[in-house]
Amino acid sequence: MLSYFMPIKVAFILFSVLGFLLIIPWLIYSYRKYGFFSLWTSLIAYSFAFYMLSALFLVLLPLPSTRNTCALQSPDTAYYSLIPFYFVWDAINSSSIVWSQPATYFQIFKESAFLQAAFNFLLLLPLGVYLRYYFQRRRYWKRAFALGFALSLFYELMQVTGIYGLYTCPYRIFDVDDLILNSTGALFGYLIAPIVLALFPSRKSVLAKKEKMLEKRMVPPFSHLLALLIDVFLINVIWSLTIGFLTSSRFAEMIYTTIGYFVIFFFVPLLWEGKTIGTNFMKFKLIGTDDSTPRWQSLLKRFFAIYFPWLISMSINGITDIKLDMNSPLYPFHVWGSLAAISFGIIMWAALFIHAVMVILSKGNRLFYFDYVAKLIPRKK
């Protein structure tokens, strides 16, 4: 059993890294698709990713210590097993069963041949459950069987080709019984999936909530926050790919970012009927409290409300970057000024963080401060 734990451990480590890196793209995708954050849908997607990584590593690991696997094998090494259901004969033949003594029949469950067959059957059984969740209907069982067979064939070809040429010779055999057991396991998982899925919210309920959100034209606070992050990220990317390559001047960065914030948060929505690049990507726009297109005064207030926290942070960094000799008469004032500036910055960002959490938890009953001061409301397009 320890041989199975190592691949799962590796899969968990890789999954943790990928899951962290993909959390923002997944949230964006989720809000664009459903209009809200579905914890159940996220658990399904993340657990499926972890399962697929685990299944892959269970098939591949442990890897050989050298690429020249041919040197580790005898010339007559067999790389194929093309006899169907040979695992049945192997399990019976290698067991200590005495046919005249029924009490010995249970010995077969302890044999390595049986355990290997059981593992191959169970390997793609969860795949069938996931496919049933997405396909919904029982009549698509042929698709589930075909996908299980295709994935199993991919695994077997990967093994017999030495991970498609990475190793000089196969380090595991191509076994037709693995194809049979994997495919049957996926089909069995598809058929019994309703028993498992009955314990959790259905995909239909998620889609029903999506329709309800569309009717109300409500924009979840987290979706609104993601739109803001997309806009800010776009400004930073353009800086990094253009002027940031040429200079590291903090003054140049401040001038560029000021212009970028003004263009993205004032000029673009003014010409685009209340939409920024981020809000358009998240499928909503800003409107006035009377359902009208935002006026320039409101957009200007929103720009300043978003811009000032960044400007204050940049000013604090500028203060702390000043280098003074310790013998200078201004040194004590600089120390206390820097301490006061840093403390103010911490308090400001803590207050903004608490404010964002409160807005998110309100589920749309409160506005972010930058929309509140501008008297603007996010609405689905």
Q: What pLDDT, in 10s, does the model give residues 236-250?
A: 888 888 877 777 777
pLDDT of residue 103: 62
Rounded mean pLDDT of 131-151?
A: 92
pLDDT band at 144 (very low <50, low <70, confident <90, very high): very high
**Does 124 or 360 have the greater pLDDT score?**
124
Task: Give the rounded percent of residues in the chain with a pLDDT score beyond 90.
Answer: 39
Q: 281-315: buried (b, 16+ CB within 10 Å) or exposed (e) per residue?
A: bbbbbbbeeeeeebeeebbbbbbbbbbebeeeebe
Please report which confidence band the pLDDT of residue 97 belongs to, taking 50, 70 and 90 as the band edges: low
- pLDDT score recorded for residue 360: 85
Count other C-beta atoms under 10 Å from residue 240's C-beta. Answer: 10
Indicate the range of 139-153, 247-261, 366-380 predicted with least confidence: 247-261
The fraction of the chain above a pLDDT of 70, given in percent, is 90
Q: What pLDDT digit, counting tens, does each position of 190-225 carry?
A: 999 988 887 777 777 766 666 666 566 678 888 889
pLDDT in tens, 54-85: 999 999 888 888 888 888 888 778 788 888 88
Burial of 327 (0-12, 13-18, 19+ CB in 10 A): exposed
For residues 95 and 235, the model is more confident at: 235
> Quick one: average pLDDT of 176-189?
94
Q: Which two tokens stand for residue 46?
A: 């993340």
pLDDT at site 176: 92
Q: Who contacts 254 (Cβ-Cβ below 8 Å, separation ≥6)?
A: 311, 314
pLDDT in tens, 325-356: 777 777 777 788 888 889 999 999 999 999 99
For the segment 1-24, what is each residue's pLDDT rounded down to a tens digit? Answer: 556 788 888 999 999 999 988 888
pLDDT of the residue at 150:
96
Contact predicate 62/6, CB 8 Å: yes
Q: What is the pLDDT of residues 247-290, one digit of tens each?
A: 777 788 889 999 999 999 999 999 999 999 999 988 899 999 88
User: Per mean pLDDT, which range of 89-93, 227-231, 294-298 is the poorest?
Assistant: 89-93
- Report how far apart, in Å, the C-alpha atoms of 2 and of each of 5, 8, 173 are: 5, 10, 21
32-45 pLDDT tens trace: 877 777 778 888 88
pTM across the whole model: 0.74
Res 227 pLDDT > 80 = yes
